[in-house]
């Protein structure tokens, strides 16, 4: 078990913007950072990170929290795994305390699968470097491919012995369960027999963006024609082929820094490029490119350069992936290598500078690439040329940005020597067909638009004032709860003439104490159950702790409460967009002290509650000759005087809520 001192050091050291920046391309937005949501498919950024508050909020999915919560959501880490990841990132030594049997039993199934995969990676790597068979076969193969020792260690390449159950026996001997070896696909279990899936293969560990071992790719070195040349781990609870890019862990920082990603096909293409000093490269691992894989890159950059070898048949089949990239609103370039060359062989034969120069000189815009590729097929055949043009316009129709579409239409018209208007008409037909095919979806989107439109119109429904006031009290406690502030107390004193009059006395309180005493005095309990739970938890926390640390506080909260706390903190900037004054909700101004802000918010809440009492009294007034409403009216008048008192103290006229 990780010691509390280590956890405290991790939270004090880790920067949420730095950690999330490893997974999402962030851009400065005032005092915050913004980026595309890593949890949903979107083209407009709705993901916000606050360096000041050290929290994040994803407005598209509703998720949010601190740096550990992000790793748990995005990488599916357990809490201890997230702490260990951060400790490793910031070079913090982990102090361990003895783990109880109950705590050991809490490790869930996915975590066990990750542990088994990590063990297998280390086992294969050790066999490659230190075992006689591994050195003679696996290590020799990698050296023949031109990989240096540094590269082999960087990618933790390995070798699985030519034995039916070498890994399985070793893992079982170390205490790993056969069930998890089976579920990760490392071991094939058939009735009472079990054997290694990857026997006699060199091994390529497949890692997530954070470096977790998800699965493996294995290449056979023998001449068995019945066996597949490459074999991947089967899909499991931790490995989904369509959502993984080989090399993303090693490439993410270079991709974000250089604002471009090279997309290749195989493991060795990635490794050879890294060895040549070009690190912003990932591979689809031989599978057809998927939207999920493209979105992985989209978090880091808007620019993809697809690298193809000189195989024309492969080019024609792979070109379909370009349309998927365009649909995600990304910029695509294509670079092909000379006949007989692929990224692996080309990087092996040329220096870093030569490879970079070649990529820069030969990377074409996708329109130019499609035209040059397909024109060879069309040649002088008008029918084929017409089909080529439709193909190019179909690709352009995938681009969500209208200005970009128009520019590409102009470029196509120039390249293909055809009227731009014809292309515009063709594009319109394609778009119209898509609209017709997805009519239901379009109607749903239109309804959603109308709802948003109505919310911004003059007939929009009123804000739930009580909800906003209670939310504001929670926000004040979160932002200022432990601060000492000066407050005014109204005391009743007898003057020299024996008359009772009000006297103002200024006293120092902590903000949370003032709010607690004010609500207790009026016997007010927050109406919203979630706010009530957070309020009680915060007050108890302030009572028991001298200082308030947001990261530490979020750690101990239940998930639904932590989610709401994050929402409140990240919605603080939203207040500027609303007409809160018109709804009688106090918003802190720059020249306003915290004490004033707290007092005015409490007064406004009291006024709202009194206003509701008046409405109830008005509803209880009866009519008729025998009706006597004297007491009710008298009470209502007293409450009206109280509202006038609130108005006077707030220094503004209080309009009616109802």
Q: Residue 466's closest CA among 533, 386, 525? A: 525
Task: Give the range with max mean pLDDT: 126-130, 399-403, 422-426, 638-642.
Answer: 126-130
281 located within any domain:
yes
- 397, 337: one domain: yes
Residue burial 165-191, b: 16+ Cβ < 10 Å; e: rest: bbbbebbeeeebeeebbbbbbbbbeee
CA distance 199 to 224: 13
Last residue within a domain, chosen from 607, 623, 652: 607
Which residue's entry shows tokens 């009735």? 191
Q: How many domains does the chain have?
A: 4
460 located within any domain:
no
Look at residue 457 in the predicted model and tell me its pLDDT: 42
Q: Work out the pLDDT band at 356, boundaries 50, 70, 90.
A: very high
613 located within any domain:
no
Q: What tokens appear for 41 in the block?
A: 């498919």
Q: Work out the pLDDT band at 452, boundaries 50, 70, 90.
A: very low
Look at residue 453 in the predicted model and tell me its pLDDT: 42
Backbone φ and ψ for 335, nearest 5 degrees, come out as: -135, 130
- State the SS3 of 176-226: CCHHHHHHCCCEEEECCEEEECCCCEEEEEEECCCCCEEEEEEEECCCCCC
Look at residue 639 in the predicted model and tell me its pLDDT: 67
- What element of type H or E holds 304? strand 303-308
512 located within any domain:
yes
- CB count, 10 Å around CB of 657? 14
Is 394 within 8 Å of 430 (Cβ atoms)? yes
- 192, 263: one domain: no
541 located within any domain:
yes
- 57, 117: one domain: no
Last residue within a domain, chosen from 105, 131, 162: 105
Look at residue 501 in the predicted model and tell me its pLDDT: 62
Ranking 11-15, 179-183, 380-384 by mean pLDDT, the lowest is 380-384
Q: Residue 213's closest CA among 88, 138, 83, 113? A: 113
Alpha helix (H) ranges present in 95-165? 101-105, 109-130, 132-133, 140-144, 149-154
Give me the percent of the chain exceeding a pLDDT of 70.
81
- 299, 429: one domain: yes
Q: Where are the beta strands (DSSP E) in 538-619?
A: none
Task: Identify the burial level of 589 via C-beta atoms within 10 angstroms of its C-beta, where 0-12 means exposed, 13-18 middle and 19 or more buried.
Answer: exposed
Task: Identify the burial level of 574 via C-beta atoms within 10 angstroms of its C-beta, where 0-12 means exposed, 13-18 middle and 19 or more buried.
Answer: exposed
**CATH number for the domain harbouring residue 336:** 3.40.1360.10
Average pLDDT over residues 348-363: 94
CA distance 531 to 114: 38
Q: Pick 379 or 150 by higher pLDDT.
A: 150
- 472, 515: one domain: yes
Look at residue 8 in the predicted model and tell me its pLDDT: 82
Instruction: Name residue 487's beta-bridge partners.
Output: 507
Give the single-character DSSP code of 496: T
- State the SS3 of 48-78: EEECCCCEEEECCCCCEECHHHHHHHHCCCC
Task: Give the range with max mean pLDDT: 32-41, 188-197, 454-463.
Answer: 188-197
> What is the residue-wise DSSP string for 148-164?
-HHHHHHTT-EEE-SSS
Look at residue 207 in the predicted model and tell me its pLDDT: 94
464 Cβ contact partners less than 8 Å away, ≥ 6 residues apart: none
Domain range for 96? 4-105
266 located within any domain:
yes
489 located within any domain:
yes
Last residue within a domain, chosen from 105, 129, 155: 105
Look at residue 579 in the predicted model and tell me its pLDDT: 44
Global pTM reads 0.65
Residues 524-563 pLDDT 10s: 788 888 888 898 888 888 877 778 877 778 877 777 788 8
CA distance 72 to 12: 18
Residues 298-316 pLDDT 10s: 888 889 999 987 665 556 6
Alpha helix (H) ranges present in 488-558? 511-521, 529-544, 550-556
Q: Work out the pLDDT band at 158, boundaries 50, 70, 90.
A: very high
Q: Pick 124 or 425 by higher pLDDT.
A: 124
Q: Residue 377's closest CA among 386, 385, 369? A: 385
Residue burial 221-235, b: 16+ Cβ < 10 Å; e: rest: beeeeeeeeebbbee
pLDDT of 179 higher than 60: yes
Look at residue 57 in the predicted model and tell me its pLDDT: 87
Checking 609-613 for CB contacts under 8 A at 24+ apart, the result is 609/522, 609/524, 610/639, 610/642, 610/643, 610/646, 611/643, 611/656, 611/657, 611/658, 612/657, 613/639
- 354, 370: one domain: yes
pLDDT of 34 higher than 80: yes
499 located within any domain:
yes
- 542, 572: one domain: yes
- 100, 146: one domain: no
In the chain the first and final C-alpha atoms are separated, in Å, by: 56
Instruction: Name residue 228's beta-bridge partners.
Output: none
Q: 3-class DSSP state for residue 333?
A: strand
Residues 556-614 pLDDT 10s: 777 778 888 888 887 654 443 344 444 555 555 544 678 888 888 888 887 788 777 87
In whole numbers, what is the pLDDT of the chain averaged over residues? 81
- 427, 383: one domain: yes
Q: Residue 305's closest CA among 253, 246, 365, 222? A: 365
Q: Residue 597's closest CA among 614, 611, 580, 609? A: 580
Residues 94-103 pLDDT 10s: 887 665 555 5
CA distance 478 to 459: 33
Average pLDDT over residues 482-492: 75
Look at residue 205 in the predicted model and tell me its pLDDT: 97
- 100, 113: one domain: no
- 272, 411: one domain: yes
**CATH number for the domain harbouring residue 142:** 3.90.980.10
Average pLDDT over residues 617-632: 72
- What element of type H or E holds 494? strand 484-494
pLDDT of 219 higher than 90: yes
Q: Work out the pLDDT band at 445, boundaries 50, 70, 90.
A: very low
- 222, 354: one domain: no
Q: Pick 460 or 136 by higher pLDDT.
A: 136
């Amino acid at each position: 078990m990780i010691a509390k001192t280590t956890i405290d050091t991790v939270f004090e050291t880790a920067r949420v913007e730095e950690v999330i920046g490893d997974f999402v391309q962030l851009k400065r937005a005032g005092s915050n950072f913004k980026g595309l949501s890593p949890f949903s498919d979107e083209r407009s950024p709705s993901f916000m990170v606050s360096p000041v508050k050290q929290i994040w909020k994803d407005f598209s999915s509703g998720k949010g929290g601190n740096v550990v919560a992000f790793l748990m959501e995005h990488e599916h880490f357990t809490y201890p795994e997230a702490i260990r990841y951060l400790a490793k990132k910031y070079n913090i030594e982990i102090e361990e305390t003895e783990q109880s049997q109950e705590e050991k039993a809490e490790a869930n199934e996915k975590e066990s699968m990750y542990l088994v995969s990590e063990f297998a990676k280390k086992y294969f790597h050790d066999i490659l470097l230190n075992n006689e068979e591994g050195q003679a076969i696996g290590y020799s193969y990698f050296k023949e491919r031109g990989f240096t020792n540094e590269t082999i260690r960087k990618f933790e390449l390995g070798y699985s012995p030519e034995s039916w159950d070498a890994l399985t026996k070793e893992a079982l001997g170390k205490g790993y369960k056969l069930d998890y070896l089976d579920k990760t696909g490392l071991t094939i279990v058939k009735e009472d027999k079990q054997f290694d899936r990857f026997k006699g293969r060199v091994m390529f560990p497949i890692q997530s963006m954070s470096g977790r071992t998800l699965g493996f790719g294995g290449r056979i070195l023998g001449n068995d024609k019945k066996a597949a040349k490459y074999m991947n781990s089967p899909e499991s609870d931790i490995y989904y082929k369509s959502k993984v890019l080989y090399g993303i862990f090693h490439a993410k920082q270079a991709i974000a820094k250089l604002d471009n990603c090279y997309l290749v096909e195989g493991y060795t293409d990635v490794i050879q490029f890294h060895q040549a000093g070009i690190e912003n490269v990932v591979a689809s691992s031989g599978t057809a490119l998927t939207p999920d894989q493209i979105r992985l890159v989209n978090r880091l950059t808007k620019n993809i350069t697809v690298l193809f070898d000189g195989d024309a048949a492969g080019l024609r089949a792979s070109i379909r992936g370009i349309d998927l990239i365009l649909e995600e609103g990304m910029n695509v370039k294509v670079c092909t290598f000379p006949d007989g060359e692929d990224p692996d062989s080309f990087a092996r034969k040329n220096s870093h500078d030569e490879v970079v120069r070649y990529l820069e000189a030969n990377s074409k815009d996708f329109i130019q690439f499609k035209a040059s590729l397909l024109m060879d097929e069309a040649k002088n055949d008008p029918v084929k040329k017409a089909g080529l043009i439709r193909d190019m316009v179909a690709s352009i129709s995938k681009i969500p940005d209208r200005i970009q579409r128009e520019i590409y239409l102009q470029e196509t018209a120039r390249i293909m020597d055809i009227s731009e208007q014809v292309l515009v008409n063709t594009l319109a037909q394609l778009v119209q067909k898509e609209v017709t095919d997805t009519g239901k979806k379009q109607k749903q989107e239109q309804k959603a638009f109308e709802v948003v439109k109505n919310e911004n119109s003059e007939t929009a429904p009123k804000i739930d004032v009580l909800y906003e006031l209670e939310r504001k009290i929670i926000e004040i406690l979160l932002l200022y709860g432990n601060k000492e502030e000066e407050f005014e107390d109204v005391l009743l004193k007898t003057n020299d003439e024996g008359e009772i009059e009000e006297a103002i006395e200024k006293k120092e309180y902590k903000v949370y104490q003032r709010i607690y005493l004010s609500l207790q005095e009026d016997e007010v309990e927050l109406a919203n159950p979630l706010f009530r739970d957070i309020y009680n938890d915060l007050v108890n926390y302030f009572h028991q702790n001298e200082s308030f640390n947001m990261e530490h506080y979020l750690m101990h909260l239940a998930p639904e409460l932590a989610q709401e706390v994050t929402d409140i903190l990240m919605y603080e900037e939203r207040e500027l967009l609303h007409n809160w004054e018109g709804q009688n909700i106090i918003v802190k101004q720059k020249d306003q002290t915290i004490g004033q802000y707290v007092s005015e918010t409490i007064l406004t809440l009291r006024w709202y509650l009194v206003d509701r009492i008046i409405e109830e009294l008005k509803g209880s007034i009866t009519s008729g000759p025998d009706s006597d409403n004297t007491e009710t009216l008298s009470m209502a008048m007293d409450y009206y005087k109280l509202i006038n008192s609130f108005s006077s103290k707030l220094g503004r006229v209080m309009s009616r809520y109802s």
